[in-house]
């Protein structure tokens, strides 16, 4: 358990046969699982109530900003959490992240204006970014290498129940009482486990493993991370319209991201340099393709193919289960197959999923064809995402797991924002389509072939050694 804050990924030979719930690792495993379960529950439960909250606060026009704040702020949280974890161990940032999540849920619940809700979502994104990076860093610090894949698979499995229960429960609570009750309830649900996690981690050593001389990266400027977060938020808002105000936001977003984003990524990321830079680029490409597919397929099913919302919800449920199952499977395959091959296999599966989604726009095929693409894509991500995280930890020198985890989180969010922005622009640019046409959807799905094929081709550049 002392590995949680001191590193030592190699493990003790005496523990070579131990599992995640052996005496040595039980406390940390239960702590991580509880954090990920509640983080997932809060993140997924909030999504369906945000439009209701925006309407109630007379801020529907600012809904894109509210919806984009969370992802944008997680960029800042990831950088802050990664550097903090490298310098003092994962305990403090993880504890701060879970407590911040509770506080920000209360801020959102008490919102009297759309701007307060946006501020609450922004701070929640900061906390979520800190938690996500701290968990990945702590896995690299707490477990020997032979247990990391299974630990990551367990973290993915922790999202299954939240994905099944979170959105419908939040919808029912909102319908019966108020969207504010959802936020207050989530804060109460998270409070005791958050305090328990802090208590468990506080009882351990505070020493962090030092980096080798010259290996530790300089402390990232928080102003740089904040500028990237602001640029990401502006980009999310900009793609929602075509008037001069949105165009100005788009120009500002591009300027901020082009100038500052490269400073948060490993040198050589854009040219897929071998090792951590390639792993970061692959995370951005794959995440961008997956989350864009996840955004456009439900829109296609609702507006163009007239599929009932309940059926679309089942597609999300199937995707969550498929992701967790594939992640569990890769935790066993990684012992027999090189990790970069699992990355390539996952990218190829996602390419098939994109092709299925494009086929789902054809009137001759059943409407549920597109829904199937979400499940297939989740299988690809279940194979690919944990494998990339393992590769990033492998490429991290001692004491730099936080930096690597932060870089992966930053690449993921930037990839998501970039790909979905390009796809949205292409979708809206198709003449005469609108949300009920099919040409725009076909064009958007065709665009997603580029990042998935590129990820498959570049997978070897992230290989071990």
Contacts of 188 (CB under 8 A, 6+ apart): none
Is residue 72 domain-shared with residue 213, that is, in the same domain?
A: yes
Domain shared by 286 and 415, yes or no: yes
* Alpha-carbon gap, residue 300 to 288, rounded angstroms: 18
DSSP secondary structure of 348-390: HHHHHHHHHHHHTTSTTS-THHHHHHHHHHHHHHHHHHHHHHH
Domain assignment present for 265: no
From 155, 187, 220, the end of a domain falls on: 220
Both 61 and 134 in a single domain?
yes
The CATH number assigned to the domain holding 28 equals 1.20.1250.20
Name the residue range of residue 456's domain: 270-465
Q: Which of 220, 236, 256 is the last residue of a domain?
A: 220
Q: Which is nearest to 370 in space by CA: 428, 296, 320, 309?
A: 296
Q: Are residues 336 and 439 in the same domain?
A: yes
**Number of separate domains in the chain:** 2
Residue-level pLDDT at 227: 86
The answer on 299 and 215 residing in a single domain is no
Answer for the pair 421, 428: CB distance below 8 angstroms, yes or no: no
Residue 235 in any domain: the answer is no
Q: What is the pLDDT of residue 282?
A: 96
Contact criterion met (CB below 8 Å) for 378 and 323: yes
Q: What is the pLDDT of residue 367?
A: 80
Instruction: Tell me the three state secondary structure of residue 239.
Output: coil
With respect to residue 455, please indicate whether it lies within any of the assigned structural domains: yes
Residue 434 DSSP label: G
CA 164 – CA 318 distance, rounded (Å): 9
One digit per residue, the tens of pLDDT, for the chain of length 465 reads: 333 333 333 333 334 445 665 666 666 677 777 777 777 777 777 776 777 787 788 876 666 667 667 877 888 888 888 778 777 777 778 888 888 888 888 998 898 888 898 888 888 888 888 888 887 777 776 677 777 777 777 776 777 777 777 777 777 787 788 888 888 888 887 777 677 666 666 654 444 444 444 444 455 567 888 888 888 878 777 766 677 887 898 889 889 988 888 888 888 998 889 989 999 999 999 999 998 898 788 778 877 777 776 677 677 778 888 888 888 888 776 667 788 899 999 999 999 999 999 999 888 888 889 989 999 999 999 999 989 988 887 887 666 677 777 788 889 888 988 888 788 778 877 765 444 467 888 898 999 999 999 999 999 999 876
Residues 138 and 208 in one domain: yes
- Nearest to 149, CA basis, from 431, 432, 445, 392: 392
Flag whether 203 is in a domain. yes
Domain assignment of residue 246, yes or no: no
Do 274 and 216 lie in one domain? The reply is: no
> Are 123 and 60 contained in the same domain?
yes
Asked, for residue 409, whether it belongs to a domain, the answer is: yes
Whether residue 405 lies inside any domain: the answer is yes
Confidence (pLDDT) at 263: 86
Report how far residue 331's alpha carbon sits from residue 334's, in angstroms, rounded to the nearest whole number: 6
Q: Which residues lie closer than 8 Å to 243 by C-beta, 6 or more apart?
A: none
Q: Are 239 and 425 in contact (CB under 8 A)?
A: yes
For residue 209, what pLDDT is reported?
45
Q: Are 291 and 416 found together in one domain?
A: yes
Q: What is the pLDDT of residue 63?
A: 66
Domain assignment present for residue 58? The answer is yes
Is the same domain home to 214 and 143? yes
Domain shared by 287 and 166, yes or no: no
pLDDT of residue 8: 34
Chosen domain end from 220, 250, 279 = 220
- The reply to whether 216 and 343 lie within a common domain is no
């Amino acid at each position: 358990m002392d590995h949680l804050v001191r590193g030592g990924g190699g493990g003790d030979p005496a523990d070579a046969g131990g599992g995640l719930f052996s005496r040595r690792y039980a406390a940390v495993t239960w702590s991580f699982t509880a954090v990920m379960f509640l983080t997932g529950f809060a993140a997924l439960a909030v999504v369906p109530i945000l439009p209701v909250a925006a309407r109630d606060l007379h801020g529907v026009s600012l809904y894109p900003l509210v919806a984009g704040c969370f992802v944008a702020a997680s960029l800042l949280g990831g950088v802050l959490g990664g550097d903090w974890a490298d310098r003092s161990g994962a305990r403090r940032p993880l504890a701060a992240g879970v407590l911040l999540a509770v506080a920000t849920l209360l801020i959102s619940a008490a919102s009297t204006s759309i701007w307060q809700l946006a501020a609450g979502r922004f701070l929640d994104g900061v906390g979520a970014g800190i938690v996500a990076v701290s968990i990945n860093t702590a896995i690299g610090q707490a477990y020997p290498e032979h247990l990391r894949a299974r630990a990551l698979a367990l973290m993915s499995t922790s999202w299954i129940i939240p994905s099944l229960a979170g959105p419908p429960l939040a919808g029912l609570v909102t319908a019966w009482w108020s969207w504010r009750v959802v936020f207050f309830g989530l804060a109460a649900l998270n409070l005791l486990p958050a305090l328990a996690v802090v208590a468990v981690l506080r009882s351990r050593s505070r020493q962090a493993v030092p980096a080798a001389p010259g290996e530790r990266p300089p402390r990232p400027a928080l102003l740089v991370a904040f500028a990237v977060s602001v640029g990401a938020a502006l980009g999310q808002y900009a793609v929602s319209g075509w008037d001069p105000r949105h165009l100005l936001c788009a120009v500002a977003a591009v300027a901020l991201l082009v100038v500052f984003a490269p400073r948060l990524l490993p040198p050589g990321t854009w040219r897929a340099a071998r090792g951590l830079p390639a792993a970061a680029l692959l995370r951005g490409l794959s995440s961008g393709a997956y989350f864009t597919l996840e955004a456009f397929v439900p829109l296609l099913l609702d507006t163009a193919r007239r599929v009932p919302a309940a059926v679309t919800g089942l597609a999300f449920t199937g995707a969550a289960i498929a992701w967790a199952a594939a992640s569990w499977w890769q935790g066993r395959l990684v012992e027999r197959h090189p990790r970069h091959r699992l990355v390539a296999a996952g990218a190829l599966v996602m390419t098939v999923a994109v092709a299925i989604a494009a086929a789902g726009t054809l009137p001759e095929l059943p409407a549920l064809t597109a829904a199937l693409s979400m499940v297939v894509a989740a299988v690809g991500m279940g194979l690919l995402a944990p494998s990339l995280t393992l590769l990033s930890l492998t490429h991290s020198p001692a004491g730099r797991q936080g930096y690597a985890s932060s870089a992966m989180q930053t690449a993921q969010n930037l990839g998501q924002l970039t790909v979905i922005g390009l796809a949205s622009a292409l979708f809206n640019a198709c003449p005469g389509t609108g949300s009920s046409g099919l040409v725009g959807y076909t064009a958007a799905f065709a665009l997603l072939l580029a990042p998935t094929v590129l990820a498959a081709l570049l997978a070897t550049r992230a290989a071990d050694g």
